[in-house]
Chain A
């Protein structure tokens, strides 16, 4: 099974900050990676697919990068509405999610 490791588990940042979330796969998954945002009481929402493609309707301050085993989600200028938990997911072989990064305002 492919394991996904996210870091950090908790991130505190200020409005306007550039924020970087990391995700590492236990084996090569090429670019078969998605990022999701989940707010309290809601279903996850797709932000990025194929490692760096922005889902329709998602603000351009969100971007993804990486391939192989190491991936990054970047928020270029943090907004209050970005407070949420972020999950990465591999879909190269079945599907596996990371444990999540909880993003809060400092």
Chain B
């Protein structure tokens, strides 16, 4: 069965960076795009971008260019997202999904606070 296992919650200081992971299992990792989605408290969903593990190709929501960096490690079937120059606006739950969203990870909560 398809599973996406995400890293645990993070508490980070303003101005710092955070890197989170999404480990895939139950399917061929290199055959599907991995997307990342942000959900701020009580709000809707924002697509951040996507990465194709086979080639490393990426596409981004313009809003998140320069904020998010997407990478993969094919040897461990793991996708990563790094968020830089964090502010309180980056406090949210971040989900990884297979393709456009047929399977979702449980989310990683990021809290930005001094």
Contacts and interface: CB of A to CB of B under 8 A. Distances in A.
Interface of A: 1, 34, 36, 43-46, 49, 55, 87, 89, 91, 94-100
Contacts of B59: 94
Contact of B100 (A43, A87, A89, A100): A89
B32 interface: no
Contact of B101 (A89, A94, A96, A100): A89
Among A1, A45, A46, A95, the one with the most B-chain Cβ atoms within 10 Å of its Cβ is: A95
A12 B58 CA distance: 41
Given A87-B45, A94-B61, A100-B44, 18 more contacts: A1-B62, A36-B101, A44-B45, A44-B95, A44-B101, A46-B104, A55-B102, A87-B44, A89-B47, A89-B101, A91-B100, A95-B35, A95-B47, A95-B50, A95-B61, A97-B37, A97-B44, A97-B47
A3 to B, nearest CB: 12
Given A97-B44, A97-B46, A49 B104 contact: no
Contacts of B62: 1
Contacts, number: 47
Contacts of A98: 44
B45 to A, nearest CB: 4
B95 A95 contact: no
B53 interface: no
A43 B45 contact: no
Interface string B57-72: 0010110000000000
Contacts of A100: 44
Contacts of A44: 45, 95, 101, 104
A46 B37 CA distance: 14
Interface string B66-82: 00000000000000000
22 contacts: A34-B100, A43-B105, A43-B107, A44-B104, A45-B104, A46-B101, A46-B102, A46-B103, A49-B102, A87-B44, A89-B45, A89-B47, A91-B101, A94-B59, A94-B61, A95-B35, A95-B47, A95-B100, A97-B37, A97-B47, A99-B44, A100-B44
